[in-house]
Structure 1
Amino acid sequence: MKTIFLAAAISLACLFHPAFAQFPAGGGASQPKALPGTAGDQSPKGSAKIQGAVVDSASAKPIEFASIALYNKSTGQAVDGTVADEKGRFVLNKVVAGEFRILISFIGYQNKTIPNISLTKGQDLELGEIKLASNVKTLDEVTVTGQAALIEEKVDRLVYNAEKDIAAKGGDATDILRKVPLLTVDLDGNVSLRGSQNIRVLINNKPSTIIASSVSDALKQIPADQIKTVEVITSPSAKYDAEGSGGIINIITKKNSLQGLSLNVDTGVGNRGSLLSLNGSYRKGKAGFTLGGFGRGIYNTVTKSTLDQTSVVNGESTLTRQTGDGSSRGLFGQYNLGFDYDLAKNQSITAGVRYGVRNFITQQDLITKLMKSGTQDVTSGRNVESKNLSGTLDANIDYLHTFKPQQEWSISTLYSRNDLTNDFDADLLNGNGNLTSRQKNINKNLNQEFTLQTDYQTPIKKNQLIEFGAKGIFRQVNSDYNYLIAESTGGYFPEAGQPSGELLYHQNIAAGYSSYTYTTKKRYTLKGGLRYEHTFIDASNREGKIGIGNYGVLVPSVNASKTFKATTVKLGYNRRIQRPGLAQLNPNFNTANPQNITIGNPELRPELTNNFELGLSKTIKKTFVNATFFGRITNNAISQVRQPSDTLAGAIVTTYENIGKQHAYGVNLFANVAATSKINVGIFANAFYTTLTGQTVGENGLSQQIDNDGVNVSGGLFSQATFKNGWGAQAFAFMQGTQIQLQGKQGGFGFYTVGIKKDFKNKKGSLGLAAENFLSRRYTMRTELNSPQFDQISNVYLYNRGIRLTFTYKIGKMTMDAPRKRAKSVNNDDVKSEGGGQQQQGQGGGQPK
């Protein structure tokens, strides 16, 4: 298979290269026009060459767009120049023989001069890595350090640097993701990218089975203050898994690259949650160890709800009115042990084990009144306790061999296991509030997967890169569910007429890809690739085999960008696949609320999406502006189908079918202003027009097509400031407008937070105080659903006013040691899952290999 994809990549190279034959084959960028004394195209041309790479002296990361100026040593005049590419590489071609000096500069870094450059005719001078130090100066005992921009624009992604979020202490990953441009996070923690929840969330480029079950629950396990950056990959290349029609969100946590021993202690307490985190590391020479644990508890989370619904079954109308009072509590933990070792100068091995635990319990007291014409009204009560429990294990071993810069080979393995329990216990009450019977739904799930992949990349000449690899995923999902009933006293026994059963679902995926990147001296970049994935499915239940066929998909992708005068233009196209996740497949009847029943469909097929985008980003003095226009076309979409129950009066049953079409066209706008060196202000807005097409059951019992369309709008702003003596402040606000759904619309919501922080004088500790939604007692989300057979209006009242006090302290003394390149890790992004909320929640995504 490698031979096939290597041939495909070479074909792409032959296809793309002639189109850019007019550009020199240099690895740098266009020559600056404003260098003093630069002769530009009129300068003398020779046959010598100078090349090298610019990196950060502390992190050893490439510094893209660094300026390189070549000066004649005797005259002092600038004779040539260029700008480093996204890898920090630069090339000066056709340089005349002579004596020169080189000046390297970039905003936020100290200038560096290489004084004695002596070139002979035809010489190819390799300068290697040139390290720039951060620009640091002291003023009135306040240290000002050059920092990365809040938002960074890459060829296929947007990077949000979250390290400076002073309000993050005591929060979780959802508190950070709410502030990332292009993303929307609702009050339940469900994440959308440009209006699509068919995304994949990764942690340090790695997947986890817990995320496949629920993104919103998984994000609660990640402490916000441990997040370094968030990458939003809107146009994944062929190197990434084909899964995730909406895109990829990669959360990069803080890593320790220092020598020595350290221990960080973080704790916080608030009116709705508390946390305790201990993270230690030890590094000496070639070996490094990390050991950490994080625990977070949530409490005092109260909700109230109302439901008014009219449904028609067999010509008979039923009016349902329901009120509910609820609360939730939970304990979340994550524990990790890591090891890395440099086998040789160019070889490394990485291993790790991570265990996550989730114990999330919700309590809801429901009172339901059913009214039918010509019959007596019936009032009943139901007190329900739902348990969402899981234990997740991820273990990986990775090997990386680097032959030379940009030429490397890796082998990666990953084993993941998630034991998931999603049960409920219900007390059934009569109209007088007396207990009449008890009901229990037991739903056990086990999700296991093993992944093996290998990847290779190598440069071709100085401005081209070819990548190819293969990957296998072996996944097994087991679900066992049943219903039990009991009298008001006594033991449980199987409930007659209620569904029970099991699902055994094997899903194996074989994939291969090839990708080709071509960069010109004039800052054109073109990346094209092909990926093929074949899925093998074997599913069965108690009745026998479920007829689901195997399928293959060919996924092309093309990304192009051009940078000029601090402006970058990007154009991208990709095709993505979205496989159904456990929530959509599991045939368990979830009747925690008998008026809203959900059931999965194990016969679901994947959905395919074509994505288009055109982006423009520009830096205007101290302001960074980004605008992206996008289109998303999905056919055979996995859509929710709601219809009244023909056995339970007033109930609505929701399941999933491949019957939908979802088209979205919109724009994302973002601007960040560095008002001063200490104050940043940002504003963002997302707007898109969507059309939805699906099917439902009409009043005559036959299938009927339904359509809906409308505009979805959201936006927000944030600001951050640092002051003398270690003080800092931050504010954030977000507003989500009405969301269009296939059978109605969901109401919007708002969220805001402010925080202050005080660093101790020795920089080893800090105190923080943050408050959110403190001006209002509650927020209301109103959802309206309708079809030929029912009309439903529901309101959820959220009480999420909060305040928290945090403390952090660092123990240990470390010395700086630039990190070596570590082995790559496995990334899986091939399932769509339920995240909660009123609408279809899908998570998928892609990641490297």
Structure 2
Amino acid sequence: MNQHPYHLKHAMKKFLLICVGLLSVQLASAQFPISTAPQRKAIPGTADDNTPKGNSKITGFVVDSAMTKAVEFASVALVSKTTNKPVDGAVADDKGKFTLNKVLAGDYKLLFTFIGYENKTVDGIKVEKGKDIDLGVVKLSSKAKTLEEVTVTGQKDLIEEKVDRLVYNAEKDITAKGGDASDVLRKVPMLSVDLQGNVSLRGSSNIRVLINNKPSTIVAGSVADALKQIPADMIKSVEVITSPSAKYDAEGSGGIINIITKKNTLQGLSLNVDAGVGNRGSNLSLNGSYRKGKMGFSLGGFGRANYNLKVDVFNDQTNFGPNGNTSRTIQNGTGKNSGQFGNYNLGFDYDMAKNQSLTAGVRYGVRNMLNTQDYDIQSFVNGNKTGTLFRDIDTKNLSGTVDVNVDYLHTYKKPQQEWSISTMYSRNDLTNNYDANDKSAVDAILNRQKNINHSNNQEATLQTDYQTPIRKNQLIEFGAKGIMRKVSSNYDYLYANAGDPLTQDPKQPSGALDYDQNVVGGYTSYTYTTKSRYTLKAGARYEHTSISASTREGGEIHIPNYGNLVPSVNLSKSIKGTMLKLGYNRRIQRPGIQQLNPNINAANPQNISIGNPLLRPELTDNIELGASRTIKKFFLNATFFGRKTDNMITQVVQSSDTLAGGLITTYQNIGSEHALGSNIFGNLAVSSKINIGIFSNFLYSQLKGKAPIGGGISQDVSNSGLNVSGGFFTQFTFKNGWGAQGFAFLQGSQVQLQGRRGGFGFYSAGVKKDFKNKKGSIGLAGENFLTKNFHMHTQNSSPQFTQVSDIYIFMRGVRLTFTYKIGKMTMDAPRKKGKSVNNDDVKTGGDGMNQQQGGGTPSTGTARPR
């Protein structure tokens, strides 16, 4: 029986190995067409009882000779020098490693092949009985004609389709140089990123964002803020997991986004410098690494400053009172935003033994966001003007985040068998304050108001996972996880008339929220691959959540414990070059601190926001059917999906009972959603130098719920409509290290329970020149450079109010980027890293639009329990 071990991160890798293994044997047969006698070809990952068995092994790593990175899924054919026939075959895994097991003694040669690379033959391999051979690193050369040219090897280098996810490889993005993660995510199929950086997947903002397969407290409060702290230059790929397996936490009803950063597997000392300067922002990044033998260290820092960001806001809202009176408020405002972001990390890894590794890391993130807004607010009652209020608002959103992890991995002789223990401690401390001054028409201060909101989110996680193959085509995984979280928020309100010191506001009492949450879960998952190229991955996860919560002013909040069984099934099949996928999963969405925090944000007195500590989780059932195919130079991927959400956490707006013309925004478990949609993505590799892609997203959603209308009364509300978005990108590579790239995206208006949120557009273009020594580059990129501003029009309404908001965002920008690599490195065989904690179980805040409508960043804190 002929067996070829291989490593497998995800079940789809096994399916790919079978398909590519067939190709490797066919290529090898074509390379050595000597004998015409019929032979049975051995397929990697399957049995062939007619193949003679030996007791020797050949291993090694396949890497790109120019870019010093692994060549994933490279084909390896073992050819007998006696018959000049391929007698065995294997496929490299995602780390470039290949293994040939049970090789008979004899003289051989190895043929290495992969699309976009020159074939390579390693001759003179003499296998002795019972002795293993380690070839070390085998380098494949690109088919590029000169070192100055860059070869675009096809769509599969840009998009990878797997049984439960889509992988977007972002390493060649020119326009993102000097940008942040939101610039990269805008170009990922199925994702939509608005102009504030809020991310949605298939029309749902209930998603989890991971960094290198694990959560970070920089994401815990606001995804939009967290993306600004991640430099685009450090992103290797983005995984969009639309149908998560049972191995993932049950949170994230819309799916999971996993951002993979670049890692170094080289020996020696290196330092990378990335810098950029522009009219809207500047950045500087220094990343160093050192590796000697079994031990490696990395130290890096990234800093980014945003400035000259301007927003104009117009807001017109009318309240219809029960006594027939009509109160109207018209607001005009101008805002300026600035921010400084930092992300610093120290990493360590150590190969304790051949089959044991230890990794550890410390990461510190800092955010300093400042927002100033000047408003004039005109009030009317029954059409008669009653006054004008001028208000200046200064908002500070500061945070410091610490993540510490220690992970251990133990592998076994049996391929794919491994056991891991992962631990993590995180803490996020936030300060979210605002100062407001009410002024007269002659700019004299009438009174002052201050809201102070300090919050923190800390969590400790312990997790263990085990997986082992069953026979040759089956894999079973199971594990357990415990998360202990403690979230707190303290808020105070101060007030003073002109000339008086600030004191406690009698109309707004201070308060505090303490929210402890413990989640204990376990899962099992089973993967089965048939000889007819079906891959089935099915599993179930159970999570039990216990909550203890209280407020200073109201005492204990009675929130019952709950348990959830979350099944998942993913099936894929390759038919004549077309991959078909069918998946079902159930997800839960727990509320975050932005939804729970009872702090009242009254920076804009006519648009008040407040959280709801009584929120319960929502449940979503998802089903999807996808197909992808490569037709010559054209790659096409189409996915159709449906979802049903109950107990939906919905942002609702209602008229204020005490403030004429005022609106209050809060959250309720009052909604349900039925949605149908599709994602279509196509890419054409016109030539090795020109690549063009186009994508579109269609979503029809139907929302139902009960919206409060004041006085403790609610009424049935429903809304439905089509949401459309799409865009295109193009990439060019030229001689002498020159390259260019363009991108455009258009998002239509979005259906909400009480109206529609405005759409927006975004585009960018860039050019880059690599230095001759390939150690650096210089580039120029522009964003929205032909457009003065973007206009977003949003409408909300009910029988009690109407609200119209127009936001004008000034984002015209240009930046110059520079990168350089210092130090000399040598290739080291990639090592399998320890697994890490992956907490993907919390709902983010609102869509961010109310911040602009409401005249300031909500002072609700941004840490979230999960």
Where does residue 246 of structure 1 map in the other structure?
254
Where does residue 402 of structure 1 map in the other structure?
411
Where does residue 392 of structure 2 map in the other structure?
383
Distance 2:253 2:58 in 1: 38
> Equivalent residue of 1:176, what SS?
helix
- Encode CA deviations 1:51-106: one digit per residue, 9 max, x unaligned: 98895335785733x55668786776779989889898999999999998775532
What is the one-letter code of the residue matched to 1:562? K
What is the one-letter code of the residue matched to 1:718? F
**Aligned equivalent of 1:139, options 140, 145, 153:** 145
Distance 2:538 2:588 in 1: 18
Distance 2:304 2:71 in 1: 36
Distance 2:41 2:379 in 1: 87
> Equivalent residue of 2:601, what SS?
coil
Aligned-residue offset at 1:521? 2.6
Where does residue 8 of structure 1 map in the other structure?
none
> Equivalent residue of 1:377, what SS?
strand
CA RMSD of aligned residues (A): 3.4
Does residue 779 (structure 1) correspond to residue 790 (structure 2)? The answer is yes
Closer, same or farther: CA 237–138 of 1 in aligned 2, 3 Å: closer
**Aligned equivalent of 2:475, options 465, 476, 485:** 465
Closer, same or farther: CA 563–125 of 1 in aligned 2, 3 Å: farther
Distance 1:673 1:183 in 2: 20
Does residue 485 (structure 1) correspond to residue 495 (structure 2)? The answer is yes
Query: Any conservation in 2 of the 1:476–1:506 contact (CA below 8 Å)?
Result: yes
Distance 1:38 1:370 in 2: 93
Distance 1:755 1:38 in 2: 56
Where does residue 62 of structure 2 map in the other structure?
56
> Equivalent residue of 2:157, what SS?
coil
Where does residue 4 of structure 2 map in the other structure?
none
What is the one-letter code of the residue matched to 2:753? L
What is the one-letter code of the residue matched to 1:794? S
Distance 1:727 1:351 in 2: 39
Where does residue 767 of structure 2 map in the other structure?
756
Does residue 338 (structure 1) correspond to residue 347 (structure 2)? The answer is yes
Does residue 832 (structure 1) correspond to residue 865 (structure 2)? The answer is no
Distance 2:645 2:382 in 1: 43
Query: Any conservation in 2 of the 1:26–1:462 contact (CA below 8 Å)?
Result: no
Does residue 765 (structure 1) correspond to residue 776 (structure 2)? The answer is yes
Distance 1:186 1:101 in 2: 54
Aligned-residue offset at 1:257? 1.2
Aligned-residue offset at 1:299? 0.6
Question: What does residue range 12-27 of structure 1 map to in structure 2 within 5 Å?
Answer: none
Distance 2:593 2:570 in 1: 32
Distance 2:136 2:519 in 1: 43
> Equivalent residue of 1:133, what SS?
strand
Q: Percent identity?
A: 62
Distance 2:97 2:811 in 1: 49
> Equivalent residue of 1:46, what SS?
coil
Aligned-residue offset at 1:210? 2.1
> Equivalent residue of 1:633, what SS?
strand
Q: Please say which of residues 500-509 and 144-153 is displaced more in the overlay.
A: 144-153
Where does residue 319 of structure 1 map in the other structure?
328
Where does residue 510 of structure 1 map in the other structure?
520
Q: TM-score, normalised by structure 1?
A: 0.90
Query: Any conservation in 2 of the 1:639–1:656 contact (CA below 8 Å)?
Result: yes
> Equivalent residue of 1:591, what SS?
strand
Aligned-residue offset at 1:110? 3.6
What is the one-letter code of the residue matched to 1:534? H
Closer, same or farther: CA 678–823 of 1 in aligned 2, 3 Å: same
Where does residue 174 of structure 1 map in the other structure?
182
Question: What does residue range 218-257 of structure 1 map to in structure 2 within 5 Å?
Answer: 218-257=226-265
What is the one-letter code of the residue matched to 2:745? F
Q: Please say which of residues 93-102 and 246-255 is displaced more in the overlay.
A: 93-102
What is the one-letter code of the residue matched to 2:303? G
- Encode CA deviations 1:154-186: one digit per residue, 9 max, x unaligned: 121111111111112211111110011111000
Where does residue 46 of structure 1 map in the other structure?
50
Closer, same or farther: CA 761–109 of 1 in aligned 2, 3 Å: closer
Query: Any conservation in 2 of the 1:28–1:523 contact (CA below 8 Å)?
Result: no
Where does residue 150 of structure 1 map in the other structure?
158
Distance 2:383 2:151 in 1: 77
Aligned-residue offset at 1:627? 0.5
Does residue 282 (structure 1) correspond to residue 271 (structure 2)? The answer is no
Q: Please say which of residues 829-838 and 782-791 is displaced more in the overlay.
A: 829-838
Q: TM-score, normalised by structure 2?
A: 0.88
Aligned-residue offset at 1:703? 1.2
Distance 1:131 1:682 in 2: 35
Does residue 328 (structure 1) correspond to residue 364 (structure 2)? The answer is no
What is the one-letter code of the residue matched to 2:368? N
Structure 2 residues without counterparts, runs of 5 or longer: 1-10, 31-35, 43-47, 852-857
Distance 2:271 2:123 in 1: 43
Question: What does residue range 621-770 of structure 1 map to in structure 2 within 5 Å?
Answer: 621-698=632-709, 702-770=713-781
What is the one-letter code of the residue matched to 2:268? G
Aligned-residue offset at 1:451? 0.5
Query: Any conservation in 2 of the 1:636–1:661 contact (CA below 8 Å)?
Result: yes
Distance 1:555 1:129 in 2: 45
Where does residue 447 of structure 2 map in the other structure?
437
Distance 2:252 2:843 in 1: 8
What is the one-letter code of the residue matched to 1:139? K
- Encode CA deviations 1:648-693: one digit per residue, 9 max, x unaligned: 1111101111111012111101111221112211111111111111
Where does residue 614 of structure 2 map in the other structure?
603
Query: Any conservation in 1 of the 2:150–2:733 contact (CA below 8 Å)?
Result: no
Distance 1:749 1:204 in 2: 30
Query: Any conservation in 2 of the 1:54–1:62 contact (CA below 8 Å)?
Result: no
- Encode CA deviations 1:764-787: one digit per residue, 9 max, x unaligned: 222111111111111100001111
Closer, same or farther: CA 454–82 of 1 in aligned 2, 3 Å: closer
What is the one-letter code of the residue matched to 1:270? G
Aligned-residue offset at 1:762? 1.6
Where does residue 577 of structure 2 map in the other structure?
566
Where does residue 9 of structure 1 map in the other structure?
none
> Equivalent residue of 2:525, what SS?
strand
Where does residue 818 of structure 1 map in the other structure?
829
Closer, same or farther: CA 97–204 of 1 in aligned 2, 3 Å: closer
Distance 1:278 1:835 in 2: 34
Where does residue 276 of structure 2 map in the other structure?
268
Closer, same or farther: CA 279–101 of 1 in aligned 2, 3 Å: closer
Closer, same or farther: CA 669–418 of 1 in aligned 2, 3 Å: same
> Equivalent residue of 2:225, what SS?
helix
> Equivalent residue of 1:218, what SS?
helix
Distance 2:374 2:315 in 1: 13
Distance 2:258 2:861 in 1: 13
Query: Any conservation in 2 of the 1:39–1:79 contact (CA below 8 Å)?
Result: no
Query: Any conservation in 2 of the 1:49–1:124 contact (CA below 8 Å)?
Result: no
Distance 2:776 2:708 in 1: 61
Distance 2:742 2:424 in 1: 40
Query: Any conservation in 2 of the 1:615–1:627 contact (CA below 8 Å)?
Result: yes
**Aligned equivalent of 1:532, options 542, 548, 558:** 542
Q: Please say which of residues 344-353 and 216-225 is displaced more in the overlay.
A: 344-353
Distance 2:116 2:190 in 1: 27
Does residue 209 (structure 1) correspond to residue 217 (structure 2)? The answer is yes
Query: Any conservation in 2 of the 1:239–1:531 contact (CA below 8 Å)?
Result: yes
Distance 2:819 2:100 in 1: 48
> Equivalent residue of 1:725, what SS?
helix
Closer, same or farther: CA 667–72 of 1 in aligned 2, 3 Å: same
Closer, same or farther: CA 336–72 of 1 in aligned 2, 3 Å: closer
Where does residue 424 of structure 1 map in the other structure?
434
Distance 1:41 1:635 in 2: 54
Structure 1 residues without counterparts, runs of 5 or longer: 1-15, 17-22
Query: Any conservation in 2 of the 1:194–1:686 contact (CA below 8 Å)?
Result: yes
Does residue 361 (structure 1) correspond to residue 370 (structure 2)? The answer is yes
Matched positions, count: 820
Closer, same or farther: CA 520–73 of 1 in aligned 2, 3 Å: farther
Does residue 589 (structure 1) correspond to residue 600 (structure 2)? The answer is yes
Does residue 451 (structure 1) correspond to residue 461 (structure 2)? The answer is yes
